[in-house]
């Protein structure tokens, strides 16, 4: 009897240890703030991340099975839609905004340019149901996934149940997106004292800290707030940003401060993609700011930069490119699942 009890205890310990080993969080550098997403209550699981990755790349999420999340969030472009000011979705329909670059989402409190979405786990509902993006419904996605040959077993591995639900579908996509951490650019290795900035980059970093870092705060290169950065209103789009969600007059023309990480690859810039190049962005901040009631207090006076300073600042911004993020095989199209 003693033996069997001992065996039972041993099996329990092994089971628990196995379970614990699969309950994981994301890894990020020392000194970074604590993520907003509570991994202690909602740990990541390898099988769930893998399922989420398959769903992220699978056009099954759209009405006519043509548009996936990756259509507008391609890994090689810092998970945004390169080359298009306004992202296009199903049947080439054009939206009103430039798809945001996806990275370091575990630190975000609110999602989308106007903060319409309050939790990463429900984020995918927005493009899925948008008539110019995927034009689908979560109800129908669940039906399609249940009928597929690959998904029921992936859901069983992830959630212990091959009956597919909206909750599990969205949770899996959320878990994959949470793993998209970019923290290994040249900037990061300089901060770790493993490499050095060139003189030009060093000067650019100094200029960045003087002129940009109040909103694009290190190490995330965003303070996650909503700001009016002085862009004139596009009278065709009439997009006033955050006010649509918050209904607060002082949120008019405010959009989420985007991260500058991987900015080399996330062009075009601004919420409506109106600026194609980094030099156009710097020109906006030095001579294009339009004053209004809600203009960010830090932009009340134009930023003054000489031509050489602009070059140095750009050189610094390029040190935020993280090739190990852009070409991370764990973030790429899951050929082994979707095209076995």
Partner 1 sequence: MRILICLLLLLLSEVSLVAQQEKLVQLKIIPFFSTTSASILDTTFQLNTSDSIRFETVKFYVSAIELFSHSQKAWKEKNSFHLIDAAQQKSNTILLNIPKTLDFDSIRFNIGIDSSTNSAGVLGGDLDPTKGMYWTWQSGYINVKLEGTSNLVHSPNHAFEFHLGGYMAPFETIRNISRPCADSNEIKVYVDLKQFITAFNLQETHHVMSPNADAVKLSELLTHCISVK
Q: C-beta of 9: minimal distance to partner 1 in Å?
A: 13
Residue 329 DSSP symbol? G
CB closer to partner 1, 8 vs 13: 8
Q: Among all chains, which residue has been given the structure tokens 């969030």?
A: 73
Which of 257, 118, 249 is closest to 240 using CA atoms?
Answer: 249
CB of 245 to partner 1, least distance (A): 6
- Minimum Å gap between C-beta 132 and partner 1 is 12
Q: Please, is 187 exposed, middle or buried when counting C-beta atoms within 10 Å of its C-beta (0-12, 13-18, 19+)?
A: buried
Q: How far is the CB of 264 from partner 1 (least distance, A)?
A: 31
Of the two residues 92 and 139, which places its CB atom closer to partner 1 in the complex?
A: 139
Q: Please, how many CA atoms are within 13 Å of residue 261, restricted to the half-sphere of its CB?
A: 29
Closest contact distance (angstroms) between CB of 328 and partner 1 is 25
State the Cα–Cα distance between residues 184 and 261, nearest whole angstrom.
10
Least Å from the CB of residue 167 to partner 1: 4
Please say which residue, 165 or 184, places its beta carbon nearer to partner 1. 165
Q: Is 142 or 212 the residue whose CB approaches partner 1 more closely? A: 142
What distances in angstroms separate CA 288 from CA 4, 223, 282, 315, one per listed residue? 77, 22, 9, 22
Q: Which residue has the tokens 């690959």?
A: 150
How far apart CA 1 and CA 327 sit, in angstroms, is 55
At what angle are helices 138-147 and 166-178 packed, to 10 degrees? Answer: 90
- Could you give the angle at the alpha carbon of 319 between the alpha carbons of 318 and 325, nearest 5°? 95
Nearer to partner 1, 118 or 300 (CB): 118
Q: Which residues bind partner 1 (CB under 8 A)?
A: 1, 42, 116-122, 125-126, 128-130, 138-139, 142, 165-168, 170-171, 174, 245-247
SS3 for 94? strand
CA-only gyration radius of the chain, Å? 22
Looking at beta carbons only, is 174 or 268 nearer to partner 1?
174
**C-alpha to C-alpha distance for 164 and 138, rounded to whole angstroms:** 11
Q: CB-wise, 161 or 234, nearer to partner 1?
A: 161
Least distance in angstroms from the C-beta of 96 to partner 1:
12
SS3 of residue 295 by DSSP: strand
């Amino acid at each position: 009897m003693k033996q069997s009890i001992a065996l039972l205890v041993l099996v329990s310990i092994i089971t628990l240890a196995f379970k614990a080993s699969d309950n994981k969080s994301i890894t990020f550098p020392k000194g970074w703030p604590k993520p907003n997403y509570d991994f202690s209550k909602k740990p990541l699981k390898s099988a769930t991340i893998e399922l989420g990755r398959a769903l992220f790349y699978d056009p099954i999420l759209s009405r006519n099975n043509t548009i996936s999340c990756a259509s507008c969030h391609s890994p090689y472009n810092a998970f945004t839609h390169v080359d298009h000011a306004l992202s296009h979705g199903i049947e080439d329909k054009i939206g009103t905004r430039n798809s945001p670059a996806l990275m370091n989402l575990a630190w975000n409190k609110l999602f989308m340019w106007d903060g319409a979405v309050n939790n990463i786990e429900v984020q995918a509902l927005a493009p899925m149901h948008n008539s110019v993006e995927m034009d689908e419904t979560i109800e129908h996605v669940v039906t399609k996934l249940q009928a597929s040959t690959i998904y029921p077993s992936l859901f069983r591995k992830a959630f212990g149940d091959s009956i597919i639900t909206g909750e599990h579908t969205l949770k899996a996509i959320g878990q994959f997106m949470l793993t998209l951490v970019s923290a290994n650019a040249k900037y990061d290795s300089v901060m770790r004292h493993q490499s050095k900035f060139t003189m030009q980059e060093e000067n650019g970093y100094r200029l960045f800290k003087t002129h940009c870092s109040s909103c694009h705060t290190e190490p995330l290169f965003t303070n996650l707030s909503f700001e009016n950065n002085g862009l004139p209103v596009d009278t065709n789009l009439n997009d006033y940003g955050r006010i649509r969600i918050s209904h607060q007059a002082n949120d008019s023309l405010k959009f989420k401060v985007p991260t500058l990480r991987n900015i080399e690859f996330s062009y075009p810039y601004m919420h409506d993609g109106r600026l194609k190049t980094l030099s156009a962005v710097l020109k906006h901040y030095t001579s294009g700011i339009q004053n209004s009631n809600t203009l960010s207090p830090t932009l009340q006076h134009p930023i003054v930069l000489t031509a050489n300073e602009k070059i140095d600042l750009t050189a610094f911004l390029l040190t935020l490119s993280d090739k190990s993020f852009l070409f991370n095989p764990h973030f790429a199209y899951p050929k082994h699942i979707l095209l076995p």
